Amino acid sequence: MEQRKLQRKRIRLLMWVVSFLVVFSVVLGSYWFYKVSTALSTQARADIQQLMELEDAFAHMSGEFSLQTQEWKNILLRAHDPALLKKHQDAFHLHQQLFHGQLFRAKHIVQNAQIDASNLVTIEQHEDALLLAYARALIQLDPHSPLSFRAVDAQVSGLDQALHAFIRDAQEKIEEEITSKLMLDTPSNNRSGALSSNQLALGLLALLLPLGALVAFFFAFRELRKIAHSDSRINTIFRSIGDALVITDARGRVESLNPQAQKLTGWSEAEARGKKLEEIFHVFDAHTHQSVESPAAIALRTGQAQALSNEVSLRSRNGSEISIEENATPIQNSAGITFGAVMSFRDVSQRRTILHELEQQRELFQQTFEQAAVGMAHLSPDGHWLRVNQKLCDITGYSKTELLALSFRGITHPDDIEQDLRQIKLLLSNHIDRYHTEKRYLTKRGQFVWVSITISVVWNEDGTPNYGVSIIEDIQARKEAEHQAIASQQQYQTLFEQMPKGVVLLNEQFKIIAHNQEALNQLEYSSAELLTLSLSDFKEDNGSALQDEQRFAQISLTGRADYEAKYRSRTGKLLVMDVSVARVSLPDGNTAYQAVFNDITEQKNIAAQIEFLAYHDQLTGLPNRRLLQDRLTQSLSSAKRSTHKLAIIYLDLDHFKDINDSLGHQVGDELLQEVARRLQACVRAEDTLARMGGDEFVIMLNQISDAQDAALVAEKILREVALPMQLDGHELRISPSIGISLYPQDGKDAETLLQHADAALYQAKHAGRATFRYYTQALHTQSLERLKLERLLPRALEQKQFELYYQAQVDLLSGRIIGCEALIRWQHPELGMVMPTRFIPVAEHSHLISKIGLWVMREACLQAKRWQDAGLNLQVSFNVSARQFMQAGEFKKTFCDVLDETGVNPSLLVIELTESLLLLSQGNEQALQEICDLGVCLALDDFGTGYSSLSYLRRLPIDHLKIDRSFVSHIETNDDDAEMVKTIIGMAHNLKMSVVAEGVETAAQAAQLTALGCEMAQGYYYSHPIPAAEFEQLLRTFNAPQ
């Protein structure tokens, strides 16, 4: 260490000498160079200035020529517009003049340099020829013919490129001539003059000083080479160490990586050197996946070593991720100043995978242990409970805490303890590997319960017992049955014949030697036939010989076996039997077996049906939400292990509730069943179609390659479901709205995928229904906003946050305001003004639309009454939704109550209905007529955008048709829209209806509508929707006498 310090001291001294000599020689040489160069620079600057001016002239000349060519193109393209043609012709002549100015400038420079200017003369001649060609071609231009443009341009095609190339060649030739002339005409001895003797002496000294620096540098180099030998050993260790190592400087830039670090990061040392550490070493938290600061950066910042961390992952250059352990130590000099850091890390992915698998196995064991249908426990060698499951607690009546404070002796019947201790002694001495017995436990309530128990031992590696494993089955019911059978042995023969279950007695070869009547009834054999058979003769699953052997072994060991079996009767009927075989002793001392079997075929069928109903929809027979959740969880687990994708298609039926409410639940149920059949035909066998409830269905598409696969299924569903269907004498058409989410990009668990598909479904409905939408992050934001609005809407009604705005309706002939439409607005204290397009769809989805509609009706009637009292005879229109009008009789009653409450003249009211009501007008026509009889006018809103039915339109008492703004907005420019508006107006007049045009924004639109015979109009051209007070001011201004 002392030697290294001495070496460093000598090196510093020598480097100071080198630095002084170098600096002094540089200063001296600079001074000498200044004196010499001053004499040489004056003429050179003049020559260079002349050359630069020539280059500038040529650059401006080329630029102006390019702009002149562009203006020629603009003249051809804008010839149809005289104003634009004049503008571009003026610009053409301007760039032509500027071009000639730069050409003249270049001539002047060349002449001053006494260079041949013939090339510039030739450029001027070519430019004049091009201008003449432009003038001749322009004479033939037809401004109204695109073909003429191309023909004219073809006449001069290539002339501008040729001139442009000639300009470049001329520039190069002239610059070469000037450079050559300057070199030949100006020898160096004429420029510099003679150098003084002092200047020569200074130059010589400037040469000798670097030689002295070289000598000093040699001695410094020799010292550095000694250090290099030492550093090579350190470098060998650095590159051969097993862990990955990265060395940085004080600014966190990489200085070196050993081979292991290069392998893990994917960066070579040459590529990484000089880069910031975070550019090559991307680490993030293994749990949160958030980027974290590397330990080297922390060590540089704090100056302290960073301990080992194994909770991070490294993303290498190729994008792969590995789990690592990492630590870092700052590199400091003797003064404690940090000038770098060393970071080491290693790949622990395999270890973390093993730990994860062990954790999964532990969880699996815990679930199996806790959910087992029998009691399970671990015992210490001294008999204390170490771990118990819930089933054992249920059997004994103790809680887990109470059991763990006891030993098995504490709950064992005193008469059974001695046998237990004897068997446990044999187990612990390894004379037997397990033992099974039946014994009694004392429950917490003081009652004894019979259990069947099997105990085995888990051994340590050194051969000592670790713990015991006990499997406990509650056999109290069976024991009670056995005890009861023993107590009633004398009545056995009578009961044997009268038992409702089939009973047969078997000899040791399992041949039937006796039976009761119920056995004959169930098996449909005669007594003589049955006595020639054994149980295996009428078993349906005769091939399970191993199963029979196990049952016989169990009977031999325990004296009894209970199981289920399938028997075939003499007539071929398949029976599911609950069979109980027990070993019995006959009065003669022989051993026999009593088999009691009960026909549980019906119970099994019922259980299967119950299980089916638990996992399937009762109406359609499709999987329900519970089964879908189970299959989706399984499919997600499979998809995680493979590269396949998975899609969730969430759909519901547009306006299904309207059909259900108007035509009845029976028709609604039949419609759902037909839709289910059509959906089933649209999916594969490996996919899952489930009904979530109501009119909502979910399809899980397994193993798709991309989003297009889901789109194809969605399009097929849209086609198939939209086909007409005949149900209970009605021809119905219905469409689905569909939302799609994809695994893994839209979610990695079942709940998230379903929520995102539902959000996409809502967006599909918002987009006009009968379509599908993919989930996006924007939909998630919209879904959150929808939930927020659903939460705020009820409070908006309670706190009177709604307000009606009014938009004028103008008589097109007189130009006077004769009515208005009431439009709802929501003024929220935090959200500000919320437009109906945001909250009305939410209100319809959350079934608040009826309450909001009632509020609009009442407020519109109150305002109409105020204007009536003020002498303003204005018709006030307000909208009624299809859901509001679903119960037409109830709506009529509510409307009449509002009329009585407000006292408004019904003739001043206009109820606007949507076209969707036409589909549901059967049975409601009388209610509509009764409302009209009150004096109220009916208007059909947004006509032409929905399912217009002329037959319904003819029967319904409609007074006004409102043409949708989508037709009006393009009436000036779109002949189809204009013809459509004309047709609607003519049809309305033929049906004796007046017409209101919505969305009028220009005077031209108003004039064209007036010419087509439209009576009324509303739109921004006249007024935006405004509050009632502002509308009254507008009315006074608009209708004031002219």
Q: Which CATH number fits domain 2-192: 1.10.10, 1.10.3470, 1.20.1420, 1.10.101?
A: 1.20.1420
Asked if the model's pLDDT at residue 760 lies above 50, the reply is yes
How confident is the model at residue 202, as a pLDDT?
A: 60
Which has more pLDDT, 59 or 862?
A: 862
- CATH, range 488-606: 3.30.450.20
Residue 356's pLDDT band, with cuts at 50, 70 and 90, is confident
How confident is the model at residue 43, as a pLDDT?
A: 53
Q: Which CATH number fits domain 793-1032: 3.40.50.620, 3.20.20.450, 2.160.10.10, 2.40.30.110?
A: 3.20.20.450
> What distances in angstroms separate CA 289 from CA 313, 321, 371, 585, 872, one per listed residue?
8, 11, 34, 71, 68
Burial degree of 574 (CB within 10 A; 0-12, 13-18, 19+): exposed
- List the one residue out of 952, 901, 961 whose CA is nearest residue 928: 952
Which has more pLDDT, 76 or 420?
A: 420
Fold for 372-478, please state it. Beta-Lactamase (3.30.450)
- Per-residue pLDDT reduced to its tens digit, 225-281: 655 555 555 666 666 677 888 889 888 898 888 888 888 888 888 888 888 888 888
How confident is the model at residue 191, as a pLDDT?
A: 42
Which has more pLDDT, 68 or 808?
A: 808
Mean per-residue pLDDT of the chain:
81
How confident is the model at residue 226, as a pLDDT?
A: 59
Q: Which sign does the torsion angle of CA 778, 784, 788, 789 carry?
A: positive
Which has more pLDDT, 1009 or 361?
A: 1009
Q: How many helices (H) and strands (E) does the chain have?
A: 37, 32
How confident is the model at residue 201, as a pLDDT?
A: 65
Q: Which residue has the tokens 């290539």?
A: 158
3-class DSSP state for residue 228?
Answer: helix
- Tell me if 372-478 shares its fold with 620-775: no
Query: Cα angle at 993 between 987 and 999, to 5 degrees?
Result: 85
Asked if the model's pLDDT at residue 361 lies above 50, the reply is yes
Q: Sort residue 815 into left (φ over 0), alpha (ψ -120 to 50) or beta.
A: left
Burial degree of 243 (CB within 10 A; 0-12, 13-18, 19+): middle
How confident is the model at residue 731, as a pLDDT?
A: 85
- Per-residue pLDDT reduced to its tens digit, 196-215: 566 556 666 666 666 666 66
How confident is the model at residue 194, as a pLDDT?
A: 43
Asked if the model's pLDDT at residue 4 lies above 90, the reply is no
How confident is the model at residue 68, as a pLDDT?
A: 78
How confident is the model at residue 408, as a pLDDT?
A: 82
> What is the homologous superfamily of the domain 243-354 according to CATH?
PAS domain (3.30.450.20)
Asked if the model's pLDDT at residue 623 lies above 80, the reply is yes
- Domain 620-775: CATH architecture, name and number where available: 2-Layer Sandwich (3.30)
- Per-residue pLDDT reduced to its tens digit, 627-658: 999 999 999 988 888 878 899 999 999 888 87
Residue 741's pLDDT band, with cuts at 50, 70 and 90, is very high
- List the one residue out of 864, 826, 890 whose CA is nearest residue 1031: 864
Asked if the model's pLDDT at residue 544 lies above 80, the reply is no
- List the one residue out of 654, 652, 653, 663 whose CA is nearest residue 920: 663
- Per-residue pLDDT reduced to its tens digit, 824-845: 999 999 888 988 888 888 887 7
3-class DSSP state for residue 735?
Answer: coil
Domain boundaries, the chain: 2-192, 243-354, 372-478, 488-606, 620-775, 793-1032
Tell me which of 66-70, 149-153, 313-317, 689-693 is least confident: 149-153
Mean pLDDT of all residues in 853-882:
92
